[in-house]
Amino acid sequence: MRRRTAPHVVILGGGFGGLYCARALRRAPVQITLVDRRNYHLFQPLLYEVATATLSPAEISAPLRYVLRRQRNVEVRMGEVVDVDVARRAVVLPDSEIAYDYLVVSTGLEHSYFGHDEWAARAPGLKSVADALEIKRRFLSAFEAAEWEADPVARQRRLTFVIVGAGPTGVELAGAMATVAHQVLPGDFRFVDTTRARVILVEGAGRVLPEFTERLSRKAKESLRRLGVEVRTGSLVTAIEPHAVVLENERIEAGTVVWAAGVRGSPLGARLGAAVDGMGRVRVQADCSVPAHRDVFVIGDLAHFEERGRVITGVAPAAIQMARFVARTIRDELRGLPRMDFRYFDKGSLATIGKAAAVARAGRLEISGFPAWITWVFIHVLYLIGFRNRVSVMAHWAWAWLASKRAARWIMGDFDLQVVQPRGAGEGIESSAPAPEATSSRRRTAPALPR
């Protein structure tokens, strides 16, 4: 590596915190190394759209090297950080070390199964592109398997989807899954009535979206029920079995389970020599630095930052504000100016529930329904990286809105299409419900498959 003549800022993580910090230092007299195990920035708030076949991964991600291609003082390093030696001021990778003058850690959160890590294989969470594609595979494959399942009990189990956790991610997933099953897929299959699919949202707290006000929580629940989502609040999960979710007072036979109930800090946070909270987030000082190590900053979801007695929520606007603050702190310190305290400006919270429904809070202002959904659309497009991604996402949302179709319905990976009682080719399944587009009493018969 070439010799450095300027202070070296190492940034770990290419999410909102890491990327915006690097960009905010573009005119600073520093050299920057941005390290991430992936080579792209991911817009996590729209991962559920990938999981439910509206968007493709390329539309919510942008290559880090491309985004920073014109910034001369930054290098991008793709790699996995295994340790941080704060005493020697070095970041440790499997094959090398990177010395730093300032370290900014923004490695985010990962799934937490509250001591039941064995549930991970049966109930994937939603934090990465791989997670989203796995959920989409299971979701769409369930309908394909149900099409060939003659046993009614097994068929209904295939068509039962349980989302554990009713925060924004769980609510958005449940609403999107119900929309796809009840409004998008009817008519695409010959022998399965997709409107009979059950989407069940389970929450241990007393209401959905517990971080919102009770009024908005109630509005969200009403919107979910209109979409056909079954909501179970005050229900704790005690076990997740291969084909069932067990609650304290109920057992739900389900073919697909998604985890949206818990997160914990990246393990790297515990390597910084600072105290962590119960979720593994690093307790930072008023300037976002680690106690006893003023050259180490933690920002974004990994930071436990308290302001006026409350912990700042791990959302994109908070990560961006922290990133810009830390960049300014580094610039000021290099000029000999004293450090200031970080002040968070709360821009509010948003959650969407299916087609043209959402809830939003900004200060004392609370809105729901279509106005909140328009606000959600505008803000999410605004935060997307790259003009091409913004245009593409808007086009796919318009298509989904006007035609009730999903453009990314490819199933990738291994297919789980084993059935209990296979239906023979050309053999129909009687249904007590009318066909979704039934305007005629004629029974539909599928053509025999070619041999």
Residue 205 above 70 pLDDT? yes
3-state secondary structure 148-215: CECCHHHHHHHCEEEEECCCHHHHHHHHHHHHHHHHHCCCCCCCCCHHHCEEEEEECCCCCCCCCCHH
More confident residue, 264 or 413: 264
Residue 433 above 60 pLDDT? no
Residue 223, CA distances (Å) to 14, 176, 179, 267, 375 in order = 35, 12, 11, 37, 17
Residue 181 above 70 pLDDT? yes
Question: What pLDDT, in 10s, does the model give residues 271-283?
Answer: 998 999 999 999 9
Residues 201-209, mean pLDDT to the nearest whole number: 95
More confident residue, 344 or 411: 344
List 33's β-bridge partners, or say none: 10, 75
Under DSSP, the state recorded for 349 is: E
Torsions phi, psi of 312, nearest 5?
-65, 135
**What pLDDT does 430 receive?**
44
**What pLDDT does 330 receive?**
98
Residues serving a catalytic function are 172
pLDDT-wise least confident of 199-203, 329-333, 345-349, 354-358? 354-358
User: pTM for this one?
Assistant: 0.87
Torsions phi, psi of 101, nearest 5?
-100, -35
Residue 122, both tokens: 């049966």
- Residue 143 region by backbone torsions, left for phi larger than 0, else alpha for psi between -120 and 50, else beta: alpha
Under DSSP, the state recorded for 288 is: S
Residue 261, both tokens: 């109930």
Under DSSP, the state recorded for 422 is: B
More confident residue, 446 or 102: 102
**What pLDDT does 401 receive?**
61
DSSP secondary structure of 15-63: SHHHHHHHHHTTTSS-EEEEEESSSEEE-GGGHHHHHTTSS-GGGGEEE
Q: Is 78 exposed, middle or buried (0-12, 13-18, 19+ CB in 10 A)?
A: middle
